[in-house]
Structure 1
Amino acid sequence: MSSSEQTNISASDKALITDLDQQIRSYVQEYGTRKDSELLDQAISDIRLYHENQKRKSGQPFIIHPLRVASYICRAGLDAPTVVAALLHDIIEDTSIIHDDIHERYGSWYADIVTGLTKIKKPESPKNLSADNLDATYQRMLKTMVQDVRALFIKLFDRLDNMRDMDAMPRDKQRRISLETLNIYVPIAERLGLTQICQEHTELCFKLLYPKRYQKTLLEIDELKKDRISTIKAMQESLQNNLEKQNLAFHNVEPLYVHPASRILESGPIDHILEGFRIVVKKSLDCFQALGIIHTNYSVIPLKIRDYISNPLWNGYEGIQTELRIEGEQTFIEIVSEEMLTKNQYGIMAHWSGSPTELADYYRIYLSQLDQMTGDKDVRMLDVMSYVQSDQVQVYSPKGDMLVFPQGATVLDFAYGIHTELGNHCIGALVNPSSVDTTKKRVPRERQLFTGEALKIITDPG
């Protein structure tokens, strides 16, 4: 930044810029290569130059935004190239820099990622302002995100930082961006197991969409928490004491409180604030030991036990869930290992190790299906929104591999989900195939899928 620009920056903003800069440099120096550090130096230099005279609506220097987004990427433990791309994510949209400039200075991967995250310019003629322009922007962004999931991580953290800084925006823009976030980014984050990011996006959206109701809900929750805190602590200590008596190597027992957003649209007063308790243990086997201990010491609610360790949910969630009576109250209990908790909160980020081929099957298939949709020019954004928001059907291949499809998907969708050629020649399927009496289980390719089924595709080579 120039000396004249520096004098217009407050001391607190200068300190924030310096702190973020140091955090990012330290992370890349520790986890990146020498080339990564060189590109990082160049990226920081470029955003200081090209965003020099730009301000956020809040009045802060614009450069704070890309620095913060990059710092979120560091905290998530992602790779150094993603950090550099996060710094550059707004440079085409908000400066004179173009795709070719990025390509020349950083390489094709950075150019494609940054261009893919850039809004398509509005046409000069008002006649051309239509859903098509918006669709094209979304289509390009989603296409980039599903082809390299790191672009999705950048976009989610970019949106999160913008949502946190939305108070300075006009009311109509707050509403538009909040609805866009709820309709597109939150469902995708949920499908990819990004629970923590999903929850914060949702809370921020409802806070902006229903500000008065949100504040009222917060006050009600705070008042109820004051009334209930002694009972909740007694329940928590009861669980801890029973686990400690058995010498279980557990990490902690933590209360799970309701989220304000989940209560905003409900009529009537809030009648409870405690969703249950989470027991965090060291290893997977400890989860079952903890289950045995609490089932021995408390009254168990029948038919409420769910083992998602042996059979994880479609979005990768793992853990054991049960319900007990503690201090006379019916109480939900979640039991997870430390590793499961990380995976449950960070989903695809916790699974991602640098290559799309190393993603869990569910994530790979989901992104592949989104990729197919965004690659079809006839598919409009409403179709994509319908897909990402839809309920899911969980089915299995004959080998036991899980595949997930939107509600209403057919046998033909299942075939294409496995391989294009299989879909091209699909004429039907065997449902829950076995060595006995398979003829009665043959179904046509138009037949809808149902959760829990195993299917074997029947093909016609001709």
Structure 2
Amino acid sequence: MQTIDALDSTLRSYLNQEQAQQVRRAYYFAEQAHFGQIRRSGEPYVTHPLAVAGILADMHMDHQSLVAAMLHDVIEDTGIDKLAIGNQFGPAVAELVDGVSKLTQMEFSSLAEKQAENFQKMALAMARDIRVILVKLADRLHNMRTLGVLPQDKARRIARETLEIYAPIAMRLGMNAVRIEFEDLGFSALHPMRARRIAAAMRSSGGNRKELVDKIRHQIESTLEQEGHEVEVIGREKHLYSIYSKMKSKKKSFSEIMDIYAFRIIVDSVDTCYRVLGCIHSLYKPVPGEFSDYIAIPKANGYQSLHTVLKGMHGVPIEIQIRTREMEEMANNGIAAHWLYKSEGQSANASHARAREWVQGLLEMQQRAGNSLEFIESVKIDLFPDEIYVFTPKGRILELPRGATAVDFAYAVHTDVGNSCVACRINRRLAPLSEPLQSGQTVEVLTAPGARPNPSWFNYAVTAKARTNIRHYLKHQTRDDSVALGKRLLDKALQVFDSGLEQLPAEQLQDYLQRHDYAALDDLLEDIARGNRLPPITAQQILGELAAGLLEPPSRDSQPVAIRGTEGFMVTYARCCHPIPGDPIEGYLSSEKGVVVHRERCKNLAEMREHRERLVALRWDEQVQGEYMTELRIEVENRRGMIAVLATRINSIGVNIEKISTEDKDYQFTYVDLSLQVRSRVHLADIMKRLRTVGSVRRVSRLKNEAPLRRPKQGASR
């Protein structure tokens, strides 16, 4: 257990006497504030903030961060407030402590919401001062080291949160040593038996590996020494969680994962890195496609190194990383390496600049997110470990997560470019917006004035920035659509009572809006479109005389509401029956989803008829626009290349295939299920007619999800 005297001797090695003394004073302040509080392990509570400060001292953090580490639980667990800390240690420290403190004064509906709100608050504090996250990571690291004293369910919850959020954040900030410890401690808490077995297997294989590792290291050192290079060669050991993850993702056994030997070569300069690379490639044969230059193009967290994979003696694969001493420090400690906090007037180094850019991105996401749970979902999406590097037409390099598409690229260039993109060129050829990008490609986004984000982009946009901006834009754009649809629904409901929205007295309508806390008529209409208010009941309430006692409204068949296909998010088309223009349809008012359009004979709609007040009579408008999803089942002979033949025929008609799957009917025939975008039933009939002309096609039918027609009972009149 660390003491304040041991910490003080570490501090005096890099801080001046006054700064070290202030950290000591913060310790005594925390000791007094936490007096009488005991940790679950039985130790005095002050041992925790002391250990957190010790972790930061090992990173050579500045004195304000260390003072904040000493006091980080004072606001949350004692009666001392932010103002008192500011008076004692200054406003900068008070802001740091407040940023790390949890939200203890608010009530939350769930534990997930509480965690999300806490992280959201911390992200806002990070935007003001990035040291907040470093104090928080040190706090979490000590909690993970002492996880064994907690109840198993709580320990597992903390371990899962650490693996999902804090380990990726440490990686994003380049703090590799912290990340590795987070992952190993979290893995041991979540899967103790697997961790023990892998650790035992590593110990038993250690003796066999040592001889070969020493032989490879000696060869590398001798070759480089002959070339006049003074280097340090270190054998890299894989950590527990890394081995487990690779075994799981690559479906390989422990022995296959451990067959790879990894070394790190530390040199004196960038120029030497490339010279050493040439020497290594002359010693062993490099594996094609396995070389990465992170010195010329650093990772987002500032990581720099040359990576190569070689075939060594007896065909043994060897992973080599070549980097300078400074790069080694950056790889292990990231933004905390050689910490010297920069004020706004001074220029931060590249790592700090990248970290701040990432935090500013978090801030933008937070501002556009609907709530804290949506925000933390976006953060998790954003913490991708693998990156690709693509080029703009002018040669600018953009870093994106693996699996990113042109939509992600467009939003990475600028939000306005993303909102107005309509197509893209990848390496000068037109390509779908949904095509995953590869490193080294040049991407050009084509935009059009008046274009707007498509809801289908959610299916393939992977970056948090793209998804947040799409969601934000569509939320604001749907208001006009909602108001227009709500007006049509209310008008239809009023027609039943021989009235209409235009015929209502203004004072009667205004009285209704005031009584129900609506600032304007548009707010009421939007609520109706979203399904939060039912049109028949709203119409009855507005017409005061009906509410006063008229039980049965006049019987009058009103015209169904016309669906035009331009209503946006407030009209959704049921995936169970896939209605298309020309189908008889009916609607169901769903809260927050608006009108959900079903085919009249849909099985699911039959179950909803108990709630008749939510059903809406619908018809397709004569000028209906857009393309609509539908599903076909094609029965074909089992023959090689049949799917390619069908896809070619459909492509020649100019129809998009969204999804394709197969299911064997028997040894002779196979079902091919297709999801297509069509304009109408006439268009669909034309497609089905052309598919039936393909050789080996036995039957083409549409998947409908229909309820069977009710047949009259025997003996009943017809």
TM-score (norm 1): 0.82
Residue 220 of structure 1 is matched in structure 2 by 201
- How far apart are residue 368 of structure 1 and its match? 1.6
Pick closer, same or farther for the CA change 1:408–1:335 going to 2, 3 Å: closer
Residue 10 of structure 1 is matched in structure 2 by none
Question: Which runs of 5 or more structure 2 residues have no equivalent in the other structure?
Answer: 451-718
- How far apart are residue 152 of structure 1 and its match? 0.9
- Matched residue of 2:337: which SS? helix
Residue 183 of structure 1 is matched in structure 2 by 164
Matching residue's letter, 1:327? M
Matching residue's letter, 1:60? E
Q: Does 1:152 align with 2:133?
A: yes
Residue 243 of structure 1 is matched in structure 2 by 224
Residue 262 of structure 2 is matched in structure 1 by 276
Q: Residues 397-436 of structure 1: matches in 2 within 5 Å?
A: 401-406=396-401
String of CA shifts for 1:297-353, please: whole Å, max 9, x gaps.
Answer: 333333433322222233332222223333322212221121221122222223864
- Matched residue of 1:304: which SS? coil
- Structure 1, 234-243 or 350-359: larger mean CA deviation: 350-359
Q: Which residue among 66, 72, 82 is the counterpart of 1:89?
A: 72
Matching residue's letter, 1:315? N
Pick closer, same or farther for the CA change 1:442–1:78 going to 2, 3 Å: farther
- Counterpart CA distance in 2 for 1:168 and 1:275 is 37
**Count of aligned positions:** 435
Asked if the contact 1:362/1:402 (under 8 Å) is kept, the reply is no
Residue 23 of structure 1 is matched in structure 2 by 10
- Matched residue of 1:384: which SS? helix
Pick closer, same or farther for the CA change 1:67–1:301 going to 2, 3 Å: same
| Bigger CA radius of gyration | 2
- Counterpart CA distance in 1 for 2:8 and 2:339 is 25
Q: Which residue among 348, 371, 385 is the counterpart of 1:358?
A: 348
Asked if the contact 1:351/1:359 (under 8 Å) is kept, the reply is no
Matching residue's letter, 1:350? A
Q: Residues 285-296 of structure 1: matches in 2 within 5 Å?
A: 285-296=271-282
Pick closer, same or farther for the CA change 1:410–1:378 going to 2, 3 Å: farther
Asked if the contact 2:59/2:338 (under 8 Å) is kept, the reply is no
Q: Which residue among 244, 251, 268 is the counterpart of 1:264?
A: 244
Pick closer, same or farther for the CA change 1:50–1:397 going to 2, 3 Å: farther
- Matched residue of 1:358: which SS? coil
- Counterpart CA distance in 2 for 1:411 and 1:269 is 38
Matching residue's letter, 2:326? E
Asked if the contact 1:27/1:74 (under 8 Å) is kept, the reply is no
- How far apart are residue 448 of structure 1 and its match? 8.0
Matching residue's letter, 2:149? A
Asked if the contact 2:65/2:135 (under 8 Å) is kept, the reply is yes
- Structure 1, 135-144 or 343-352: larger mean CA deviation: 343-352
Residue 375 of structure 1 is matched in structure 2 by 367
Q: Does 1:336 align with 2:336?
A: no
Of Structure 1 and Structure 2, which has the larger fraction of its residues in helix?
1
- Structure 1, 150-159 or 390-399: larger mean CA deviation: 390-399
- Matched residue of 1:152: which SS? helix
Q: Which residue among 385, 399, 405 is the counterpart of 2:380?
A: 385
Residue 87 of structure 2 is matched in structure 1 by 104
- Structure 1, 17-26 or 108-117: larger mean CA deviation: 17-26
Pick closer, same or farther for the CA change 1:222–1:99 going to 2, 3 Å: same
- Counterpart CA distance in 1 for 2:88 and 2:414 is 38
Asked if the contact 2:420/2:448 (under 8 Å) is kept, the reply is yes
- How far apart are residue 405 of structure 1 and its match? 4.1
- How far apart are residue 399 of structure 1 and its match? 6.6
String of CA shifts for 1:49-78, please: whole Å, max 9, x gaps.
Answer: 112222222222221221221122222122
Asked if the contact 1:411/1:428 (under 8 Å) is kept, the reply is no
- Counterpart CA distance in 2 for 1:402 and 1:364 is 19
- How far apart are residue 278 of structure 1 and its match? 1.3
Asked if the contact 2:290/2:308 (under 8 Å) is kept, the reply is yes
Identity of aligned residues (%): 31
- Structure 1, 300-309 or 165-174: larger mean CA deviation: 300-309
- Counterpart CA distance in 2 for 1:427 and 1:269 is 46
- How far apart are residue 92 of structure 1 and its match? 0.9
Pick closer, same or farther for the CA change 1:291–1:131 going to 2, 3 Å: closer
- How far apart are residue 198 of structure 1 and its match? 0.9
Pick closer, same or farther for the CA change 1:167–1:239 going to 2, 3 Å: same
Asked if the contact 2:217/2:233 (under 8 Å) is kept, the reply is yes
Asked if the contact 1:225/1:273 (under 8 Å) is kept, the reply is no
Matching residue's letter, 1:84? V
- Counterpart CA distance in 1 for 2:311 and 2:202 is 23
- How far apart are residue 450 of structure 1 and its match? 5.9
String of CA shifts for 1:84-116, please: whole Å, max 9, x gaps.
Answer: 111111111121111222222223222222111
Residue 4 of structure 1 is matched in structure 2 by none
Matching residue's letter, 1:259? H
- Counterpart CA distance in 2 for 1:290 and 1:53 is 59
Residue 9 of structure 1 is matched in structure 2 by none
- Counterpart CA distance in 1 for 2:299 and 2:207 is 35
- Matched residue of 2:35: which SS? coil
- How far apart are residue 374 of structure 1 and its match? 2.6
- How far apart are residue 239 of structure 1 and its match? 1.3
- How far apart are residue 261 of structure 1 and its match? 1.5
Superposition RMSD on alpha carbons, in Å? 3.4
Residue 321 of structure 1 is matched in structure 2 by 307
- Counterpart CA distance in 2 for 1:454 and 1:263 is 35
- Structure 1, 411-420 or 134-143: larger mean CA deviation: 411-420
- How far apart are residue 449 of structure 1 and its match? 6.6
Pick closer, same or farther for the CA change 1:321–1:385 going to 2, 3 Å: closer
For CA contacts below 8 A with separation 6 or more, give which structure has more relative contact order.
1
Asked if the contact 2:130/2:356 (under 8 Å) is kept, the reply is no
Matching residue's letter, 2:285? S
- Counterpart CA distance in 1 for 2:129 and 2:395 is 27
Asked if the contact 2:236/2:263 (under 8 Å) is kept, the reply is yes
Q: Which residue among 332, 335, 347 is the counterpart of 1:345?
A: 332
- Counterpart CA distance in 1 for 2:359 and 2:330 is 18
Pick closer, same or farther for the CA change 1:424–1:286 going to 2, 3 Å: closer
Asked if the contact 1:395/1:453 (under 8 Å) is kept, the reply is yes
Question: Which runs of 5 or more structure 1 residues have no equivalent in the other structure?
Answer: 1-12, 434-439
Asked if the contact 2:127/2:356 (under 8 Å) is kept, the reply is no
Residue 119 of structure 1 is matched in structure 2 by 102
Pick closer, same or farther for the CA change 1:375–1:28 going to 2, 3 Å: farther
